[in-house]
Amino acid sequence: MSESTMIFLSLLVPLLGSLGIALTGRSPLLRDSFMIASAVLVFLCVLSLLPAVQAGGRPEAHLLTMMPGLDLAFSVEPLGMIFALVASGLWIMTSIYGIGYMRGAGEKNQTRFYACFSIAIFAAIGIAFAQNMFTLFILYEVLSLSTYPLVAHKGTEEAKRGARIYLGILLGTSIGLLLPAMIATWWLTGSLEFQPGGIMQGQVSPAIGSLLLLLYMFGIGKAALMPFHRWLPAAMVAPTPVSALLHAVAVVKAGVFSVLKVSTYLFGLDYLESLWASDLVMWVAAFTLLSASVVAMQQSNLKARLAYSTVSQLSYIVLAAMLASQLAVVGGGMHIVMHAFGKITLFFCAGAIYVAAHKTEIQEMDGLGRKMPVTMFAFLLGALSVIGAPPLGGLWSKWHIMLGAVDAGHAIMIGVLLISTLLNIAYLLPPVVRAFLLPPPKGTPAGVEEAPLMCLIPLSLTALGALLLFFMADPVRALMWSVFVGRAA
């Protein structure tokens, strides 16, 4: 099959999957197997495009032309490839986990839930493969809208309030800031196509370029740059698989992916470096990174703590993009992968703890390690990966970002990253320490009582993935480098 067919298939399968899920809703078994089958199929479709991209190819697919210079078109380049692989691969895990969690927690409206889930994956892959900013923007909005029912899933007042903040900030920033930035770009350069080296050099004056950069960076609300980060903690009311999807796979990664894509393919790193606004955004990112870590330390709810941790980690990637150095961007791309595996493991564990032990607060987790050894061990691995400690994958991405900071002449950012790492340790390890080292509260029955296998297997696999990525980070790095040199070494 041709490459463009495979691109369309990667997009079509989750859509059809969503339809199939909606139609087979009466029979949970059929529905669930349908969902997993489509998840695997999508992953295979995406994977089949990998060799071509590694060899330096850029498979393309053109859907239609809306207006002169405005196309709905897709083109697979290394950065998008990485994001698509992460999203579709982790979707399999999330699907399996979701089945276990939703059954274990006895949630209602599962069919609507899974159907919206599939649409969200469709949007994420579409974002990854978007050939131009316009296509990306459309799918970005689809992603916001399709995840709204997921966040509001419980239908309680609290859930609705959270979902309103979620959608309000995401739609507000995208229509209020991103859309004008995009239209202005089109008007100034006559194109919205993602091109290596950017399209703005020589076409847009630095003053306007700086303004556009601010609009883009704050407009991509999914990257959760302060002050537009509030939606992320607000979305914590969602069931845990959603949190995993939102905060590790689809939504936030779509945000930082867009940031990287806009920086490298619309602005171009050279042009970006010449803008005063890139320094400003870099400092905002540094501020977000540190302050979100501090806030995370004060959260007693495990999911809320993880949410603020995500806000902080996303800023690593924004920071990497704003350093405007190739090394840092490579690090940023790698961080998409590394953080995805680490954070999804942590969320899976939080959900497993909720399903098996009905606990959400950190101070309740004393001695939990004896009851749920596998879960807590996976949590430890995930935490270490997010912290960036060896022997886990998170080390490499931070390493590259720091090298990039030196390269770009912003060595002070190394200090920021180091402080943040210390803070990471301070807020991610206490739950583990409590679970393993403190005695359980009196009157707790002894013995192992883990979450259902459907939950346990995915979280073990993602933890293992985080571990393996330490040893096998090179393919990811090579793929990221090919953004700049054309083909993977």
Partner 1 sequence: MSLIEHLPILVVLVPMFVAPLLAAVPSRGQLPWLIATLTSLLTFVVAIAIAAQVLAHGTLTYELGGWPPPFGIGLAVGPLSAMMLLVITGASLMALLWGPASMNSEVGHEHQSLLYASWLLALCGLSGITVTGDAFNIFVFMEISSLASYVMVSAGPKRQALTATFKYLITGTVGATFYLIGVGYLYMMTGTLNLADMAERLATVSSTAPVLVASGFILVGLALKAALFPMHAWMPNAYRFAPTPVGVFFAACSTKVALFVLIRFDFLVLMPNLPGHADMLVSVLMPLSVAAMLVGSAVAIFERDLKRMLGYSSVAQIGYILLAFSLLSTAGLTAAIVHLFNHALIKGALFMAVGTLVLRTGSSRLDDMAGIGKTMPLTTLAFCLAGLSLIGVPLTAGFISKWYLIVAVLEHGALGWMLLAAILISSLMAIVYVWKVVEVAYFRSPPDNNTGGSPAQRSEAPLGMMIVLWLVVAANFWFGLDTSLLLSLADMETTLLLGSRR
Which residues contact partner 1 by CB under 8 A?
64, 66-67, 134, 137-138, 141, 152, 155, 160, 164, 167-168, 171-172, 175-176, 179-180, 183-184, 186-187
CA dihedral 291, 296, 297, 303 (to 10 degrees): 180
Pick 186 or 283: Cβ nearer partner 1: 186
Q: Nearest distance from residue 205's CB to partner 1, in Å? A: 13
Q: What distance in Å separates the CA atoms of residue 337 and residue 132, rounded to the nearest whole number?
A: 23
Q: Nearest distance from residue 451's CB to partner 1, in Å? A: 30
Q: Nearest distance from residue 186's CB to partner 1, in Å? A: 8
Pick 176 or 486: Cβ nearer partner 1: 176
Q: Nearest distance from residue 68's CB to partner 1, in Å? A: 9
Pick 100 or 126: Cβ nearer partner 1: 126
Pick 129 or 481: Cβ nearer partner 1: 129
Pick 139 or 402: Cβ nearer partner 1: 139
The token pair at 166 is: 């979620």
Inter-residue contact 259 to 136 (CB < 8 Å)? no
The token pair at 287 is: 């501020």
Q: Nearest distance from residue 176's CB to partner 1, in Å? A: 5
> What's the full length of the chain, in residues?
489
Q: Nearest distance from residue 60's CB to partner 1, in Å? A: 20
Q: DSSP states of 374-401 as a string?
A: HHHHHHHHHHHHHHT-TTSTHHHHHHHH
Question: CB-based contacts of 428: which residues, under 8 Å, 6+ apart?
Answer: 309, 346, 383, 386, 387
Pick 179 or 403: Cβ nearer partner 1: 179
Q: Is 193 helix (H, G, I), strand (E, B) or coil?
A: strand
Q: Nearest distance from residue 159's CB to partner 1, in Å? A: 9
Give buried/exposed letters for 244-263 (b at 16+ CB in 10 A, else e): bbbbbbbbbbbbbbbbbbbb
Q: Nearest distance from residue 236's CB to partner 1, in Å? A: 19
Q: Is 381 helix (H, G, I), strand (E, B) or coil?
A: helix
Inter-residue contact 459 to 347 (CB < 8 Å)? no
Q: What is the DSSP letter of 463?
A: H
Pick 49 or 192: Cβ nearer partner 1: 192
Query: Which residue shows structure tokens 């346990």?
Result: 456
Inter-residue contact 336 to 83 (CB < 8 Å)? yes
Inter-residue contact 242 to 112 (CB < 8 Å)? no
Pick 107 or 364: Cβ nearer partner 1: 107
Q: Nearest distance from residue 364's CB to partner 1, in Å? A: 31
Pick 6 or 150: Cβ nearer partner 1: 150
Q: Nearest distance from residue 3's CB to partner 1, in Å? A: 24
Q: Is 361 helix (H, G, I), strand (E, B) or coil?
A: strand
Q: Is 132 helix (H, G, I), strand (E, B) or coil?
A: strand
Query: Which residue shows structure tokens 């999804």?
Result: 344
Per residue, the 3-state secondary structure of 58-85, as one string, reads: CCEEEEEEEECCEEEEEECCHHHHHHHH
Pick 94 or 173: Cβ nearer partner 1: 173
